[in-house]
């Protein structure tokens, strides 16, 4: 289990969760790719499976390597995209809608902050938007969720953020400007073919992606191509 082999597996599949959900085969994950016959057990004591910790550290190392893209995408779970599938996903999402169109004011403020300065720690992002404290935690999490699901925000490395290192967040447009621009010039038909391969109809990833599309505000019908 190393960075090179993990990137190869992500590129082969198009996208992967880091850890499986309830040890199910679907959707696919890096854990199952590396350890197909080993159920995941969250054991952090000295008798626990040290591969869980090793996978956690690998996730952090991969998040800012730029060879794959990290997001808390699928149902808020850690997800890695190949660059190709990330670009294709952006293209289809952007064809459907203005991705900021029906965001809440707080979501827009968080995005604007990250577009001004990326990456930022959770602590910094909360402070700049006056969302510190337990009282504001639900609003922060609720507002960040659509930014991840619409691929407007990505995870990018770790920062010292108190007692433990924390994931840094950044604007996709800023940190992956090359992929953002590539998505705008990619042919829609090509993007759809890429997604059909990585997220076949009926798969968990495809159902989630289609749900995101349904929640987006519609563009003018003359400008929208059905997906």
Per-residue model confidence (pLDDT) at position 177? 96
> How high does pLDDT run on average in the chain?
89
Q: pLDDT per residue over 204-226, tens digit each?
A: 999 999 999 988 877 654 444 43
**CA–CA separation, 173 vs 147, rounded Å?**
12
Q: Which of the two residues, 223 and 139, has the higher pLDDT score?
A: 139
- Look up residue 16 and give its two tokens: 């992967």
Q: Which of the two residues, 121 and 47, has the higher pLDDT score?
A: 121
Q: Give Cβ neighbours of residue 113 (< 8 Å, ≥ 6 apart).
A: 120, 125, 128, 129
- Look up residue 210 and give its two tokens: 């289609």
Helix (H) or strand (E) run with residue 195 in it: helix 188-198
The arithmetic mean of pLDDT across residues 135-163, rounded, is 89
**CA–CA separation, 92 vs 225, rounded Å?**
9
**CA–CA separation, 9 vs 26, rounded Å?**
16
| Nearest residue to 143 (alpha-carbon basis) of 129, 155, 133 | 129
Q: pLDDT per residue over 56-101, tens digit each?
A: 889 989 999 999 999 999 999 999 999 999 999 999 999 877 898 8
Q: Which of the two residues, 72 and 41, has the higher pLDDT score?
A: 72
Q: Give Cβ neighbours of residue 75 (< 8 Å, ≥ 6 apart).
A: 21, 208
Q: pLDDT per residue over 166-205, tens digit each?
A: 789 999 999 999 999 999 999 999 999 999 999 999 999 9
């Amino acid at each position: 289990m190393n960075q090179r082999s993990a990137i190869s597996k992500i590129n082969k599949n198009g996208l992967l969760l880091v850890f499986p959900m309830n040890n199910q085969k679907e959707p696919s994950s890096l854990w199952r790719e590396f350890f197909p016959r080993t159920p995941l057990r969250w054991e952090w004591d000295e008798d626990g499976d040290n591969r869980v910790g090793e996978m956690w550290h690998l996730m952090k190392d991969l998040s800012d390597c730029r060879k794959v893209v990290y997001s808390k995408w699928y149902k808020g779970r850690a997800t890695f995209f190949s660059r190709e599938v990330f670009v294709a996903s952006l293209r289809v999402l952007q064809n459907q809608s203005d991705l900021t169109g029906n965001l809440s004011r707080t979501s827009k403020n968080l995005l604007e902050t990250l577009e001004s300065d990326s990456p930022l720690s959770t602590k910094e992002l909360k402070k700049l938007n006056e969302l510190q404290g337990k009282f504001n935690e639900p609003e922060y999490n609720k507002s960040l969720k659509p930014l991840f699901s619409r691929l407007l925000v990505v995870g990018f490395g770790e920062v010292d953020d108190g007692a433990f290192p924390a994931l840094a967040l950044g604007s996709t447009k800023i940190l992956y400007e090359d992929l953002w621009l590539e998505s705008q010039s990619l042919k829609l038909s090509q993007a759809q073919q890429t997604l059909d391969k990585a997220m076949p109809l009926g798969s968990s990833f495809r159902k989630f992606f289609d749900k995101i599309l349904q929640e987006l505000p519609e563009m003018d019908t003359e400008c929208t191509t059905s997906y």
